[in-house]
Structure 1
Amino acid sequence: MTRLLTVTDLHVYYGSVHALKGVSLEVAEGEVVALLGANGAGKTTLLRTISGLVRPRQGEIRLGDRVITHLPAHEIVALGVAHAPEGRRVFGTLTVEENLTLGAYVRGATPEVEETRAWVYDLFPRLRERRRQMAGTLSGGEQQMLAIGRALMARPRLLLLDEPSLGLAPLLVQSIFRTIAEIARQGVTILLVEQNARAALRLAQRGYVLTTGTILASGSAAELMAGDRVKAAYLSGRSALTS
Protein backbone atom coordinates (compact mmCIF):
# COMPACT_ATOMS: atom_id res chain seq x y z
CA MET A 1 0.00 0.00 0.00
CA THR A 2 1.12 3.56 -0.70
CA ARG A 3 2.14 5.53 2.38
CA LEU A 4 0.18 8.74 2.68
CA LEU A 5 1.44 9.96 6.09
CA THR A 6 4.87 9.25 7.55
CA VAL A 7 5.86 10.64 10.95
CA THR A 8 9.50 10.07 11.93
CA ASP A 9 11.15 10.67 15.33
CA LEU A 10 8.83 13.53 16.28
CA HIS A 11 9.72 15.54 19.39
CA VAL A 12 7.42 18.28 20.66
CA TYR A 13 7.86 20.49 23.71
CA TYR A 14 5.55 22.82 25.58
CA GLY A 15 8.14 24.97 27.29
CA SER A 16 10.21 22.49 29.30
CA VAL A 17 7.58 19.73 29.04
CA HIS A 18 8.60 17.03 26.55
CA ALA A 19 5.15 16.14 25.17
CA LEU A 20 6.14 13.85 22.27
CA LYS A 21 9.32 11.82 22.62
CA GLY A 22 10.42 10.40 19.30
CA VAL A 23 7.04 9.35 17.91
CA SER A 24 7.08 7.53 14.56
CA LEU A 25 4.08 6.15 12.67
CA GLU A 26 2.72 5.52 9.19
CA VAL A 27 -0.72 5.68 7.60
CA ALA A 28 -1.30 4.16 4.16
CA GLU A 29 -3.76 5.51 1.62
CA GLY A 30 -7.25 4.20 2.31
CA GLU A 31 -6.53 3.09 5.87
CA VAL A 32 -8.28 3.92 9.10
CA VAL A 33 -5.62 4.00 11.82
CA ALA A 34 -6.52 4.40 15.49
CA LEU A 35 -4.36 6.33 17.92
CA LEU A 36 -5.11 5.16 21.45
CA GLY A 37 -4.03 6.14 24.93
CA ALA A 38 -5.09 7.79 28.16
CA ASN A 39 -5.68 11.50 28.62
CA GLY A 40 -2.37 13.33 28.52
CA ALA A 41 -0.62 10.68 26.44
CA GLY A 42 0.07 13.15 23.62
CA LYS A 43 -2.59 12.10 21.10
CA THR A 44 -4.06 15.57 20.55
CA THR A 45 -0.58 17.09 20.43
CA LEU A 46 0.35 14.66 17.68
CA LEU A 47 -2.69 15.58 15.57
CA ARG A 48 -2.10 19.29 16.12
CA THR A 49 1.54 18.87 15.06
CA ILE A 50 0.58 16.99 11.89
CA SER A 51 -1.91 19.73 10.98
CA GLY A 52 0.63 22.51 11.55
CA LEU A 53 -0.89 24.02 14.70
CA VAL A 54 2.08 22.97 16.86
CA ARG A 55 5.72 23.13 15.78
CA PRO A 56 8.00 20.17 16.54
CA ARG A 57 11.51 20.70 17.82
CA GLN A 58 12.79 17.61 16.01
CA GLY A 59 11.57 15.04 13.52
CA GLU A 60 9.84 14.94 10.15
CA ILE A 61 6.29 14.71 8.83
CA ARG A 62 5.66 13.68 5.22
CA LEU A 63 2.44 13.69 3.23
CA GLY A 64 3.22 11.34 0.38
CA ASP A 65 6.64 12.52 -0.84
CA ARG A 66 6.19 16.08 0.45
CA VAL A 67 7.81 17.19 3.70
CA ILE A 68 5.19 19.26 5.58
CA THR A 69 6.91 19.50 8.96
CA HIS A 70 7.23 23.29 9.08
CA LEU A 71 4.51 24.40 6.67
CA PRO A 72 1.80 26.74 7.99
CA ALA A 73 -1.54 25.14 8.78
CA HIS A 74 -3.43 26.62 5.81
CA GLU A 75 -0.88 25.20 3.37
CA ILE A 76 -1.20 21.77 4.98
CA VAL A 77 -4.98 21.99 4.54
CA ALA A 78 -4.49 22.92 0.88
CA LEU A 79 -2.29 19.82 0.43
CA GLY A 80 -5.10 17.61 1.67
CA VAL A 81 -5.01 17.31 5.48
CA ALA A 82 -8.14 18.31 7.42
CA HIS A 83 -8.55 18.27 11.20
CA ALA A 84 -11.77 17.89 13.19
CA PRO A 85 -10.54 18.96 16.63
CA GLU A 86 -11.44 17.71 20.08
CA GLY A 87 -14.33 19.68 21.53
CA ARG A 88 -15.86 20.41 18.08
CA ARG A 89 -15.07 24.15 18.14
CA VAL A 90 -17.82 25.16 15.76
CA PHE A 91 -18.53 28.86 15.21
CA GLY A 92 -21.62 29.21 17.36
CA THR A 93 -22.82 32.55 15.98
CA LEU A 94 -22.69 31.31 12.37
CA THR A 95 -25.19 29.00 10.69
CA VAL A 96 -24.47 25.39 9.87
CA GLU A 97 -24.06 26.33 6.21
CA GLU A 98 -21.70 29.20 7.02
CA ASN A 99 -19.57 26.85 9.14
CA LEU A 100 -19.36 24.44 6.22
CA THR A 101 -18.42 27.25 3.84
CA LEU A 102 -15.52 28.19 6.13
CA GLY A 103 -14.28 24.61 5.89
CA ALA A 104 -13.76 25.11 2.15
CA TYR A 105 -11.92 28.43 2.43
CA VAL A 106 -8.75 27.11 0.77
CA ARG A 107 -10.75 25.97 -2.26
CA GLY A 108 -12.56 29.23 -3.07
CA ALA A 109 -16.08 29.42 -4.50
CA THR A 110 -16.28 26.68 -7.13
CA PRO A 111 -18.95 24.26 -8.34
CA GLU A 112 -16.90 21.48 -6.75
CA VAL A 113 -17.44 23.08 -3.34
CA GLU A 114 -21.20 22.88 -3.81
CA GLU A 115 -20.81 19.22 -4.76
CA THR A 116 -18.84 18.65 -1.56
CA ARG A 117 -21.52 20.41 0.51
CA ALA A 118 -24.16 18.12 -1.03
CA TRP A 119 -21.96 15.12 -0.14
CA VAL A 120 -21.66 16.31 3.46
CA TYR A 121 -25.43 16.75 3.68
CA ASP A 122 -25.89 13.22 2.33
CA LEU A 123 -23.54 11.90 5.03
CA PHE A 124 -25.26 13.96 7.73
CA PRO A 125 -28.93 14.56 6.75
CA ARG A 126 -29.49 16.29 10.10
CA LEU A 127 -27.16 19.08 8.99
CA ARG A 128 -29.24 19.65 5.87
CA GLU A 129 -32.31 20.02 8.09
CA ARG A 130 -30.44 22.49 10.32
CA ARG A 131 -28.51 24.33 7.62
CA ARG A 132 -30.02 27.75 8.48
CA GLN A 133 -29.71 27.21 12.23
CA MET A 134 -27.03 28.85 14.38
CA ALA A 135 -24.38 26.27 15.19
CA GLY A 136 -24.35 27.25 18.86
CA THR A 137 -27.94 26.05 19.23
CA LEU A 138 -27.22 22.53 17.94
CA SER A 139 -27.04 19.51 20.21
CA GLY A 140 -23.66 18.03 21.05
CA GLY A 141 -24.10 15.27 18.51
CA GLU A 142 -25.13 17.72 15.80
CA GLN A 143 -22.12 19.90 16.57
CA GLN A 144 -19.87 16.85 16.20
CA MET A 145 -21.46 16.11 12.82
CA LEU A 146 -20.80 19.71 11.84
CA ALA A 147 -17.17 19.59 12.97
CA ILE A 148 -16.56 16.50 10.83
CA GLY A 149 -18.55 17.95 7.93
CA ARG A 150 -16.61 21.20 8.07
CA ALA A 151 -13.33 19.27 7.86
CA LEU A 152 -14.64 17.28 4.89
CA MET A 153 -15.41 20.49 3.02
CA ALA A 154 -11.67 20.75 2.31
CA ARG A 155 -11.98 17.43 0.40
CA PRO A 156 -9.04 15.99 2.34
CA ARG A 157 -6.86 13.06 1.41
CA LEU A 158 -6.22 12.60 5.15
CA LEU A 159 -8.82 13.32 7.85
CA LEU A 160 -7.61 13.78 11.44
CA LEU A 161 -10.42 13.03 13.90
CA ASP A 162 -9.87 13.92 17.57
CA GLU A 163 -12.29 12.24 20.02
CA PRO A 164 -15.43 12.21 17.84
CA SER A 165 -17.43 10.31 20.48
CA LEU A 166 -16.51 12.59 23.40
CA GLY A 167 -19.54 13.46 25.53
CA LEU A 168 -22.08 11.77 23.26
CA ALA A 169 -24.80 9.28 24.20
CA PRO A 170 -24.17 5.66 23.09
CA LEU A 171 -26.73 5.74 20.26
CA LEU A 172 -25.16 8.88 18.86
CA VAL A 173 -21.70 7.33 19.13
CA GLN A 174 -22.89 4.39 17.03
CA SER A 175 -24.32 6.78 14.44
CA ILE A 176 -21.14 8.86 14.26
CA PHE A 177 -18.98 5.76 13.86
CA ARG A 178 -21.21 4.39 11.10
CA THR A 179 -20.74 7.66 9.24
CA ILE A 180 -16.96 7.61 9.78
CA ALA A 181 -16.93 4.10 8.31
CA GLU A 182 -18.86 5.39 5.29
CA ILE A 183 -16.40 8.27 4.85
CA ALA A 184 -13.57 5.73 4.84
CA ARG A 185 -15.40 3.53 2.31
CA GLN A 186 -15.59 6.55 0.03
CA GLY A 187 -11.81 6.80 -0.05
CA VAL A 188 -10.80 9.21 2.72
CA THR A 189 -7.82 8.08 4.80
CA ILE A 190 -8.42 8.58 8.54
CA LEU A 191 -6.19 8.94 11.59
CA LEU A 192 -8.54 8.57 14.55
CA VAL A 193 -7.88 9.60 18.15
CA GLU A 194 -10.50 8.00 20.38
CA GLN A 195 -10.91 7.18 24.07
CA ASN A 196 -13.37 4.40 23.24
CA ALA A 197 -10.71 1.92 22.19
CA ARG A 198 -13.09 -0.92 21.40
CA ALA A 199 -15.16 1.22 19.02
CA ALA A 200 -12.00 2.61 17.40
CA LEU A 201 -10.47 -0.83 16.86
CA ARG A 202 -13.69 -2.17 15.37
CA LEU A 203 -13.41 0.56 12.75
CA ALA A 204 -9.64 0.69 12.17
CA GLN A 205 -7.37 -1.69 10.32
CA ARG A 206 -4.36 -0.84 12.48
CA GLY A 207 -3.55 1.13 15.59
CA TYR A 208 -0.88 2.71 17.74
CA VAL A 209 -0.92 2.94 21.54
CA LEU A 210 0.58 6.13 22.92
CA THR A 211 1.64 6.63 26.52
CA THR A 212 3.39 9.67 28.01
CA GLY A 213 4.52 10.84 24.58
CA THR A 214 5.93 7.56 23.27
CA ILE A 215 4.56 4.68 21.19
CA LEU A 216 3.99 1.74 23.55
CA ALA A 217 2.64 -0.69 20.94
CA SER A 218 1.40 -0.95 17.38
CA GLY A 219 -0.24 -3.61 15.29
CA SER A 220 -3.40 -4.73 13.58
CA ALA A 221 -6.69 -3.86 15.24
CA ALA A 222 -7.21 -7.54 16.10
CA GLU A 223 -3.78 -7.82 17.69
CA LEU A 224 -4.29 -4.72 19.82
CA MET A 225 -7.79 -5.80 20.84
CA ALA A 226 -6.47 -9.16 22.00
CA GLY A 227 -3.38 -7.85 23.79
CA ASP A 228 -2.80 -6.24 27.15
CA ARG A 229 -0.94 -3.13 26.07
CA VAL A 230 -4.06 -1.13 25.20
CA LYS A 231 -5.37 -1.80 28.70
CA ALA A 232 -2.00 -0.92 30.22
CA ALA A 233 -2.00 2.45 28.46
CA TYR A 234 -5.16 3.57 30.26
CA LEU A 235 -5.90 4.13 33.92
CA SER A 236 -7.88 0.87 33.89
CA GLY A 237 -8.83 -1.80 31.42
CA ARG A 238 -12.49 -0.90 31.86
CA SER A 239 -11.95 2.69 30.75
CA ALA A 240 -9.84 1.56 27.80
CA LEU A 241 -12.26 -0.91 26.31
CA THR A 242 -15.68 0.56 26.89
CA SER A 243 -18.32 -0.88 24.62
Structure 2
Amino acid sequence: MLKIENVHVYYGRIHALKGISLTVEPGEIVTLIGANGAGKTTLLRAISGLVPVREGTITFEGRPLTRLKAEEIVRLGISHVPEGRRIFANMTVRENLALGAYLRRDPKEVAESLERVFALFPRLKERLQQKAGTLSGGEQQMLAIARALMARPRLLLLDEPSLGLAPLLVRQIFATLKEINEQGTTLLLVEQNAHMALSVAHRGYVLETGRIVLADTAERLRASEEVRAAYLGG
Protein backbone atom coordinates (compact mmCIF):
# COMPACT_ATOMS: atom_id res chain seq x y z
CA MET A 1 0.00 0.00 0.00
CA LEU A 2 2.75 2.44 1.03
CA LYS A 3 6.31 2.17 -0.24
CA ILE A 4 9.06 4.51 0.89
CA GLU A 5 12.45 4.20 -0.81
CA ASN A 6 15.68 5.96 0.15
CA VAL A 7 13.92 9.10 1.43
CA HIS A 8 16.05 12.06 2.50
CA VAL A 9 14.55 15.15 4.18
CA TYR A 10 16.40 18.28 5.29
CA TYR A 11 15.40 21.18 7.58
CA GLY A 12 17.80 23.80 6.26
CA ARG A 13 21.22 22.20 6.75
CA ILE A 14 19.94 19.56 9.19
CA HIS A 15 19.71 16.14 7.55
CA ALA A 16 16.57 14.84 9.32
CA LEU A 17 15.88 11.63 7.33
CA LYS A 18 18.87 9.77 5.91
CA GLY A 19 17.77 7.22 3.34
CA ILE A 20 14.62 5.79 4.94
CA SER A 21 13.02 2.78 3.22
CA LEU A 22 9.95 0.94 4.50
CA THR A 23 6.66 -0.61 3.41
CA VAL A 24 3.13 -0.81 4.77
CA GLU A 25 0.86 -3.58 3.48
CA PRO A 26 -2.96 -3.25 3.27
CA GLY A 27 -4.65 -4.13 6.57
CA GLU A 28 -1.53 -3.79 8.73
CA ILE A 29 -0.72 -1.76 11.81
CA VAL A 30 2.91 -0.72 11.44
CA THR A 31 4.61 1.22 14.22
CA LEU A 32 7.65 3.51 14.21
CA ILE A 33 9.48 3.67 17.52
CA GLY A 34 12.52 5.66 18.54
CA ALA A 35 13.72 8.45 20.80
CA ASN A 36 12.70 12.11 20.43
CA GLY A 37 14.42 13.62 17.42
CA ALA A 38 14.81 10.26 15.63
CA GLY A 39 12.79 11.49 12.64
CA LYS A 40 9.45 9.75 13.25
CA THR A 41 7.28 12.88 12.99
CA THR A 42 9.28 14.12 9.99
CA LEU A 43 8.58 10.85 8.16
CA LEU A 44 4.81 11.17 8.70
CA ARG A 45 4.95 14.78 7.57
CA ALA A 46 6.87 13.76 4.43
CA ILE A 47 4.21 11.15 3.58
CA SER A 48 1.48 13.79 4.07
CA GLY A 49 3.20 16.35 1.85
CA LEU A 50 3.89 18.74 4.74
CA VAL A 51 7.68 18.69 4.31
CA PRO A 52 9.51 18.36 0.98
CA VAL A 53 11.43 15.20 0.12
CA ARG A 54 14.83 16.11 -1.36
CA GLU A 55 15.70 12.60 -2.54
CA GLY A 56 13.90 9.24 -2.80
CA THR A 57 10.31 8.19 -3.52
CA ILE A 58 7.05 7.70 -1.63
CA THR A 59 4.28 5.80 -3.41
CA PHE A 60 0.76 5.04 -2.19
CA GLU A 61 -1.07 2.24 -3.99
CA GLY A 62 1.42 2.69 -6.84
CA ARG A 63 0.98 6.48 -7.13
CA PRO A 64 3.95 8.80 -6.41
CA LEU A 65 3.26 11.31 -3.62
CA THR A 66 6.40 13.42 -3.46
CA ARG A 67 5.21 16.11 -5.91
CA LEU A 68 1.63 16.33 -4.59
CA LYS A 69 0.12 18.95 -2.26
CA ALA A 70 -1.12 17.87 1.16
CA GLU A 71 -4.81 18.21 0.20
CA GLU A 72 -4.26 16.03 -2.89
CA ILE A 73 -2.75 13.34 -0.66
CA VAL A 74 -5.82 13.45 1.61
CA ARG A 75 -7.99 13.05 -1.49
CA LEU A 76 -6.05 9.88 -2.42
CA GLY A 77 -6.99 8.29 0.91
CA ILE A 78 -4.36 9.23 3.54
CA SER A 79 -5.35 11.05 6.75
CA HIS A 80 -2.93 12.35 9.38
CA VAL A 81 -3.60 12.74 13.12
CA PRO A 82 -0.81 15.17 14.11
CA GLU A 83 1.16 15.24 17.33
CA GLY A 84 -0.54 17.51 19.85
CA ARG A 85 -3.99 16.86 18.29
CA ARG A 86 -4.30 20.24 16.55
CA ILE A 87 -8.07 20.39 16.92
CA PHE A 88 -9.85 23.71 16.25
CA ALA A 89 -10.41 24.81 19.84
CA ASN A 90 -12.97 27.58 19.17
CA MET A 91 -15.17 25.38 16.99
CA THR A 92 -17.64 22.79 18.23
CA VAL A 93 -17.06 19.05 18.09
CA ARG A 94 -19.60 18.87 15.24
CA GLU A 95 -17.76 21.59 13.26
CA ASN A 96 -14.40 19.84 13.73
CA LEU A 97 -15.88 16.59 12.43
CA ALA A 98 -17.50 18.38 9.47
CA LEU A 99 -14.09 19.82 8.53
CA GLY A 100 -12.69 16.30 8.43
CA ALA A 101 -15.20 15.50 5.68
CA TYR A 102 -14.68 18.71 3.67
CA LEU A 103 -13.57 16.88 0.50
CA ARG A 104 -16.59 14.59 0.46
CA ARG A 105 -19.73 15.37 -1.51
CA ASP A 106 -22.30 12.68 -0.62
CA PRO A 107 -24.27 13.77 2.51
CA LYS A 108 -25.57 10.22 3.07
CA GLU A 109 -22.03 8.79 3.14
CA VAL A 110 -20.85 11.59 5.45
CA ALA A 111 -23.75 10.79 7.82
CA GLU A 112 -22.69 7.12 7.78
CA SER A 113 -19.13 8.12 8.68
CA LEU A 114 -20.47 10.26 11.52
CA GLU A 115 -22.34 7.25 12.92
CA ARG A 116 -19.17 5.18 12.62
CA VAL A 117 -17.12 7.65 14.68
CA PHE A 118 -19.92 7.88 17.28
CA ALA A 119 -19.85 4.07 17.58
CA LEU A 120 -16.08 4.24 18.14
CA PHE A 121 -16.19 7.32 20.42
CA PRO A 122 -19.64 7.56 22.08
CA ARG A 123 -18.45 10.46 24.26
CA LEU A 124 -18.11 12.70 21.20
CA LYS A 125 -21.82 12.28 20.48
CA GLU A 126 -22.58 13.62 23.97
CA ARG A 127 -20.28 16.61 23.36
CA LEU A 128 -21.39 17.55 19.83
CA GLN A 129 -22.26 21.18 20.55
CA GLN A 130 -19.38 21.73 22.96
CA LYS A 131 -16.36 23.86 22.00
CA ALA A 132 -13.49 21.49 21.26
CA GLY A 133 -11.11 23.51 23.45
CA THR A 134 -13.20 22.69 26.54
CA LEU A 135 -12.83 18.92 26.12
CA SER A 136 -10.46 16.87 28.28
CA GLY A 137 -7.14 15.75 26.78
CA GLY A 138 -8.48 12.26 26.12
CA GLU A 139 -11.62 13.62 24.45
CA GLN A 140 -9.51 15.94 22.28
CA GLN A 141 -7.43 12.94 21.13
CA MET A 142 -10.64 11.05 20.31
CA LEU A 143 -11.83 14.07 18.32
CA ALA A 144 -8.53 14.32 16.40
CA ILE A 145 -8.77 10.64 15.39
CA ALA A 146 -12.49 10.93 14.58
CA ARG A 147 -11.90 14.04 12.44
CA ALA A 148 -9.26 12.17 10.42
CA LEU A 149 -11.65 9.22 9.96
CA MET A 150 -14.30 11.55 8.54
CA ALA A 151 -12.20 11.76 5.35
CA ARG A 152 -12.72 7.96 5.03
CA PRO A 153 -8.98 7.18 4.69
CA ARG A 154 -7.57 3.85 3.65
CA LEU A 155 -4.31 4.73 5.43
CA LEU A 156 -4.34 6.54 8.78
CA LEU A 157 -1.13 8.16 10.06
CA LEU A 158 -1.05 8.73 13.83
CA ASP A 159 1.61 10.79 15.61
CA GLU A 160 1.90 10.09 19.37
CA PRO A 161 -1.80 9.36 20.11
CA SER A 162 -1.02 8.53 23.77
CA LEU A 163 0.93 11.73 24.50
CA GLY A 164 -0.08 13.29 27.83
CA LEU A 165 -2.90 10.83 28.54
CA ALA A 166 -3.56 8.84 31.72
CA PRO A 167 -2.76 5.09 31.46
CA LEU A 168 -6.44 4.07 31.47
CA LEU A 169 -7.18 6.40 28.55
CA VAL A 170 -4.09 5.18 26.68
CA ARG A 171 -5.43 1.61 26.83
CA GLN A 172 -8.82 2.83 25.64
CA ILE A 173 -7.32 4.75 22.69
CA PHE A 174 -5.22 1.76 21.64
CA ALA A 175 -8.19 -0.62 21.88
CA THR A 176 -10.06 1.76 19.56
CA LEU A 177 -7.12 1.90 17.12
CA LYS A 178 -7.19 -1.91 16.95
CA GLU A 179 -10.93 -1.75 16.23
CA ILE A 180 -10.40 0.85 13.47
CA ASN A 181 -7.84 -1.49 11.91
CA GLU A 182 -10.18 -4.48 12.18
CA GLN A 183 -12.81 -2.44 10.32
CA GLY A 184 -10.41 -2.22 7.37
CA THR A 185 -8.23 0.90 7.85
CA THR A 186 -4.45 0.46 7.60
CA LEU A 187 -2.47 2.29 10.32
CA LEU A 188 1.03 3.75 10.45
CA LEU A 189 1.66 4.68 14.06
CA VAL A 190 4.38 6.82 15.66
CA GLU A 191 4.45 6.24 19.40
CA GLN A 192 6.77 6.89 22.36
CA ASN A 193 4.93 4.24 24.38
CA ALA A 194 6.70 1.32 22.70
CA HIS A 195 4.95 -1.25 24.95
CA MET A 196 1.50 -0.21 23.76
CA ALA A 197 2.55 0.30 20.14
CA LEU A 198 4.14 -3.15 19.83
CA SER A 199 1.17 -4.77 21.60
CA VAL A 200 -1.22 -3.73 18.78
CA ALA A 201 1.13 -3.59 15.75
CA HIS A 202 1.86 -6.34 13.25
CA ARG A 203 5.33 -5.00 12.40
CA GLY A 204 7.64 -2.26 13.55
CA TYR A 205 10.63 -0.16 12.57
CA VAL A 206 13.11 1.39 15.01
CA LEU A 207 14.47 4.81 14.01
CA GLU A 208 17.65 6.38 15.36
CA THR A 209 18.88 9.80 14.17
CA GLY A 210 17.07 9.64 10.84
CA ARG A 211 17.90 6.03 9.97
CA ILE A 212 16.09 2.71 10.38
CA VAL A 213 18.26 0.49 12.57
CA LEU A 214 15.84 -2.41 13.13
CA ALA A 215 12.81 -3.81 11.31
CA ASP A 216 10.86 -6.92 12.31
CA THR A 217 7.53 -8.32 13.47
CA ALA A 218 6.15 -6.61 16.58
CA GLU A 219 6.51 -9.87 18.49
CA ARG A 220 10.22 -10.21 17.67
CA LEU A 221 10.90 -6.53 18.42
CA ARG A 222 9.20 -6.97 21.82
CA ALA A 223 11.49 -9.93 22.53
CA SER A 224 14.68 -8.20 21.28
CA GLU A 225 17.21 -7.46 24.03
CA GLU A 226 18.26 -4.29 22.19
CA VAL A 227 14.69 -2.95 21.98
CA ARG A 228 13.88 -3.97 25.56
CA ALA A 229 16.95 -2.14 26.89
CA ALA A 230 16.42 1.04 24.83
CA TYR A 231 12.62 1.41 24.69
CA LEU A 232 10.83 -1.06 26.97
CA GLY A 233 12.58 -0.31 30.26
CA GLY A 234 14.90 -3.34 30.43
Q: TM-score with structure 1 length normalisation?
A: 0.94
* Cα pair 1:95 1:134 within 8 Å, conserved: yes
* Cα pair 1:37 1:230 within 8 Å, conserved: no
Question: 2:96 is matched with which residue: 96, 99, 104?
Answer: 99
Name the structure 1 match of 2:219: 222
Name the structure 2 match of 1:143: 140
Aligned residue identity for 1:113 = V
Name the structure 1 match of 2:119: 122
Structure 1 runs not aligned, ≥5 long: none
Q: What secondary structure, in the 3-state scheme, does the structure 1 residue paired with 2:38 have?
A: coil
Aligned residue identity for 1:226 = A
* Cα pair 1:12 1:21 within 8 Å, conserved: yes
Within a 5 Å distance, the mapping from 1:65-214 to structure 2 comes to 65-108=62-105, 110-214=107-211
Q: Distance in 1 between matches of 2:227 and 2:15?
A: 22
Name the structure 2 match of 1:33: 30
1:241 aligns with 2:232: yes
Q: TM-score with structure 2 length normalisation?
A: 0.97
Q: What secondary structure, in the 3-state scheme, does the structure 1 residue paired with 2:171 have?
A: helix
* Cα pair 1:209 1:229 within 8 Å, conserved: no
Q: What secondary structure, in the 3-state scheme, does the structure 2 residue paired with 1:207 have?
A: strand
Query: How many residue pairs are counted as aligned between the two chains?
Result: 233
Q: What secondary structure, in the 3-state scheme, does the structure 1 residue paired with 2:99 have?
A: helix
* Cα pair 2:79 2:156 within 8 Å, conserved: yes
Q: Distance in 2 between matches of 1:166 and 1:80?
A: 25
**C-alpha deviation, 1:231, in angstroms:** 4.4
What is the RMSD of the two structures over their aligned residues, measured on CA atoms? 1.0
Cα deviation per residue 1:43-102 (whole Å; 9 max; x = unaligned)? Answer: 000000001111110010000111111100000000000000000010000000100010
Q: Distance in 1 between matches of 2:228 and 2:14?
A: 25
Q: Distance in 1 between matches of 2:156 and 2:164?
A: 21
Structure 2 runs not aligned, ≥5 long: none
* Cα pair 2:32 2:190 within 8 Å, conserved: yes
Q: What secondary structure, in the 3-state scheme, does the structure 2 residue paired with 1:144 have?
A: helix
